[in-house]
Amino acid sequence: MSTLIIEEALNGLQFGLMLFLLAAGLTLVFGIMDMINLAHGSLYMIGAYLTATVTDASGSYFIGVPVALVATAIIGMVLEVSLFRRLYRRDHLSQVLATFALILICNESVRMIWGAQPIPLNTPVAFTHPVELMPGLQYPAQRLMIIGVGLVVAVAMYFLVAKTRLGMWVRAGASNREMATSMGVNIKWLFTAVFGIGAALCALAGAMLGPLLAVQVGMGESILILAFVVVVIGGIGSIRGAFVGALLIGAVDTLSRSLLPLLLSKFLSPAVTSSIGAAVASIIIYVLMAAVLFWKPQGLFPARG
């Protein structure tokens, strides 16, 4: 039982770090630009497809990932300059409708380019074998790589936001956009840079999860909901909040889906357990979000706190 808990805790850490990659860009876009971007998950999907395509063409996953990051960042910045700049002054309903339309456009564009069937993104050969972490516990090397990459990116994002001039501008823009503008910050280019960073983080999440999940049309919509939950729990515009919220959601979601059915099976019949276990587990993260908002309406670490 202890081995199962450790393994599921590692799975929760891996899932939480991937949620952080999505939520970090999303919370910056939402916190600084006051922009609701439902198409954020589409960049995650595009990054996964580009990684699979370049990996297949070059024969190397480690070539496919950086190419996909750069290409997705460029796509994100082009979208920001051409489309999102026209939405900043619109109300949130207009932003939701426009970005929802962008989801449909991205999905159909991907379907026309790559087809409707999922495409493979194979695990690098070096990470196909499990690693023995302790006697009786072998853990996939691919998931360990994801954890390592996620932690490195989290540390890099901390230094970017807390220790660099760009990070100072980002924090100023998240706290008071008008004051940052009056102090000489070029908000337009700041928005473009932030959007590009967010798009690259989405592509990295897609490249990391692609070998574990199916690279398919519409793959970004389901995970986008959890990314928004992370942003709300952590606090809009806060990188620290996104990190804590992502780890919290990753741990709660993974542990509840694996351990809750085992707990219910002690009191209920197998048929009842199988029917309600997954449903209750999927509800828990939203109950957690409601509890956090009841306790701290602005999230755990609001940027404007």
Q: What is the pLDDT along the chain (305 residues), one digit of tens a residue?
A: 577 788 888 888 999 999 998 888 888 787 777 788 889 999 999 999 999 999 999 988 989 999 999 999 999 999 999 988 888 888 888 899 999 999 999 999 999 999 889 898 887 877 878 888 777 788 888 889 889 999 999 999 888 888 888 878 777 766 666 777 777 777 778 888 888 998 999 999 999 988 888 899 988 888 888 898 999 998 887 888 889 999 999 998 888 877 777 777 777 777 667 677 677 777 888 999 999 999 888 888 876 54
Under 8 Å CB-to-CB from 131, ≥6 apart: which residues? 138, 139, 140, 141, 144
DSSP 303: T
In this prediction, residue 178 carries a pLDDT of 73
The greatest distance separating any two alpha carbons of the chain, rounded to the nearest whole angstrom, comes to 66
Tokens in use for 211? 């070998």
The pTM assigned to this predicted structure is: 0.88
Quickly count: other Cβ atoms within 10 Å of residue 116's Cβ. 9
**Cβ atoms 20, 150 nearer than 8 A:** yes
Q: Work out the burial of residue 197: count CB atoms within 10 Å of its CB; fewer than 13 is exposed, 13-18 middle, 19 or more buried.
A: buried
Tokens in use for 241? 């909040």
**Cβ atoms 175, 256 nearer than 8 A:** no
Q: How far apart are CA 80 and CA 191, in angstroms?
A: 8
119 SS3 class: strand
Quickly count: other Cβ atoms within 10 Å of residue 265's Cβ. 14
